[in-house]
Amino acid sequence: MIRFPRLYRLETDQSATVKDRMQLVNNSWIFQWAWARHLSGRLVGELEQLISVVSTSSCFDSDKDRWVFSLDKSGVYTCKSVAAKLDTCLLSSNSPAIKTIRNNLVPQKVGIFVWRVLKGRIATLVELDKRGIDLGSILCATCGNEIESIDHALFKCKSAVDVWKSIHKW
């Protein structure tokens, strides 16, 4: 419902769980969807993503679908467990004793934000459109003059320039 809202809207029985739509036949999962109409275009790609996600997940006997975080023995996601796993996976080839270097002068949220900007992972309208999210327009919602890219949203939009000027004056 949350991750694939378009597919959810096309499901005829919205109280059904993903597990309700799966059947194990000869050790293979068969999906039996009940769509209100034939899927086409982006919806076919979203269905493939959904099947991929579900195929790599575990099914449970409980009433509700749920996710299990397989990187931690408890099955519960925590930032600490992810950081520890990243440390061991990314740094194990050099030295397992080395931990990820964190700069205490820069708040962690700022460091993550800068990293996301550098990787192009900020949810601007252009990036959302690339991911197949239907938008009315990809023009900047603030100024309406240019396409809302990361560069425009952070540095070129009049509102962003005004913020940077205020910070500079401060």
**Domain shared by 96 and 112, yes or no:** no
Question: What is the span of the domain harbouring residue 125?
Answer: 102-169
DSSP 156: I
Task: Please give the pLDDT value at position 108.
Answer: 80
CA separation for the pair 7, 41 (Å, rounded): 12
Residue 123 maps to a domain: yes
**Domain shared by 112 and 90, yes or no:** no
Residue 63 maps to a domain: no
Task: Name the residue among 128, 120, 110 with its Cα closest to residue 150.
Answer: 120
CA separation for the pair 68, 74 (Å, rounded): 9
Cβ pair 148, 126 in contact under 8 A: yes
Tokens of 21: 């739509």
Tens digits of residue pLDDT in 55-100: 766 554 444 556 677 777 777 777 787 777 777 765 555 544 444 4
Residue 51 maps to a domain: yes
Strands 22-25 and 28-31: antiparallel
Cα dihedral 80/82/84/88 (nearest 10): 180
Q: Which of 101, 123, 157 is the C-terminal boundary of a domain?
A: 101
**Domain shared by 157 and 118, yes or no:** yes
Residue 159 maps to a domain: yes
Cβ pair 124, 149 in contact under 8 A: yes
- For residue 6, the tally of other CB atoms under 10 A from its CB is 14
Cβ pair 18, 8 in contact under 8 A: no
What is each CA distance from 33 to 17, 26, 29, 115, 141, in whole angstroms?
11, 19, 12, 39, 37
Burial of 125 (0-12, 13-18, 19+ CB in 10 A): buried
Residue 62 maps to a domain: no
Name the domain count of the chain. 3
Instruction: Lowest mean pLDDT of 16-25, 56-65, 147-156, name the range.
Output: 56-65
pLDDT at 8 over 90: no
pLDDT category, 105, cuts 50, 70, 90? Answer: confident
**Domain shared by 132 and 78, yes or no:** no
What integer best gives the mean pLDDT of the chain? 80
Residue 21 maps to a domain: yes
pLDDT (average), residues 109-126: 86
Output the pTM of the full model: 0.40
Give the residue ranges of DSSP H helices in 56-107: 79-91
CA separation for the pair 137, 93 (Å, rounded): 46
Task: Please give the pLDDT value at position 99.
Answer: 47
Unique residue bearing structure tokens 């500079």: 168
Task: Please give the pLDDT value at position 2.
Answer: 84
pLDDT at 44 over 80: yes
Instruction: Lowest mean pLDDT of 29-33, 86-90, 142-146, name the range.
Output: 86-90
